[in-house]
Amino acid sequence: MENVPFSAGSQRPESTVPAGACDCHVHMYDARYPAASGAKLMPPDATAADYRQLQRRLGLSRVVLVTPSTYGTDNRCMLNGLAALGSGARGVAVIDGQESDAELHSLHEQGVRGVRLNLSLGAAGSVDQLEPLAQRIAPFGWHLQLLMDPDLLASQAVVLRQLPVPLVFDHMGRIPPDQAQSHPAHSLLLELLRSGQAWVKLSGSYIVSPQGSVEDPALDALAASYLRVAPQRVLWGSDWPHATASAGMQAMPDDARQIDRLNQWLKHAEGATTLKQVLVDNPATLYGFEASGT
């Protein structure tokens, strides 16, 4: 197959990807939309048409677009991507909590099903927003997606346990693999998964890896820990177009290998679940896709 923008390699996954598979973490970039003040990542344009090429290569049909840190609370680029990708796409927005009901309803009508609070590379938001944002989005049935340093995450345990919305932790909870069984943030994530309050995305593994690679064997135990504890609460995302790799922080990952590594993590979890549950059934539950089919 031909090469896909912002993805190493050119082959399909070796694993058999089930019909209706969803990539739960993708960003769109477009220079027509200005970057937020203080934005740390400024990647080149990455469009819905570019992503369609990756979908075809990987055998995916559904996608979740997440407003990236680059744009702060400006969701226009993400919403433009939703419109281009159609009914097989859902969105995760970034808001400040001051939006009117009409504004949030409009986001919902366009396919938004959650909001993200990025306290790692974000140009907007603070930990003080956890409860106000959760209260604001609860009436819409949305979830709160979180990315933060493990120490900060652990420090917010009391608050997180009491929030009135589902929580989604992207990039494997940002837990360093060598701290998977010792850091209190990992224990907290496992607790929230067991209780049914949280979901975790097996995304950005190359970011979490000290080697900067999805091939890092140290990732196996961390991924398997989530799959064993709550297989019905695990999602997968490519993190295309890999903004941190474009910025030279890691090598550009091969997204087919990312799917194959997911399949390997399932084996490390000793059959806790299947590719279909992670790629089709779980996203259908969280994001409101039909349970099967394309």
For the stretch 32-80, pLDDT in tens is: 999 998 888 999 999 999 999 999 999 999 999 999 999 999 999 999 9
> For 250-269, what is the mean pLDDT?
96
Q: Please, what is the average pLDDT of the chain?
A: 95
pLDDT attached to residue 77: 98
Catalytic member of 23, 239, 255, 281: 239
Structure tokens at 247: 């910025």
Taking the C-alpha atoms of residue 225 and residue 202, their distance in angstroms, rounded to an integer, is 11
Q: Which CATH class is domain 22-287?
A: alpha beta
50 is catalytic: no
Kindly report the number of other CB atoms within 10 A of residue 56's CB atom: 14
Residue 137: pLDDT band with limits 50, 70, 90: very high
Taking the C-alpha atoms of residue 225 and residue 250, their distance in angstroms, rounded to an integer, is 25
Taking the C-alpha atoms of residue 169 and residue 122, their distance in angstroms, rounded to an integer, is 15
Cβ atoms 290, 61 nearer than 8 A: no
Taking the C-alpha atoms of residue 216 and residue 93, their distance in angstroms, rounded to an integer, is 31
> For 258-278, what is the mean pLDDT?
94
Report pTM: 0.96
- Judged against a pLDDT cut of 90, whether residue 89 lies above it is answered with yes
- Judged against a pLDDT cut of 60, whether residue 189 lies above it is answered with yes
Distance of CA 31 to the CA centre of its chain: 22
Helix (H) or strand (E) holding 53: helix 48-58
The sign one gets for the Cα dihedral 34, 38, 44, 47 is: negative
| Digit-coded pLDDT (tens) for 141-177 | 999 999 999 999 999 999 999 999 999 999 999 999 9
> For 89-116, what is the mean pLDDT?
97
pLDDT attached to residue 123: 54
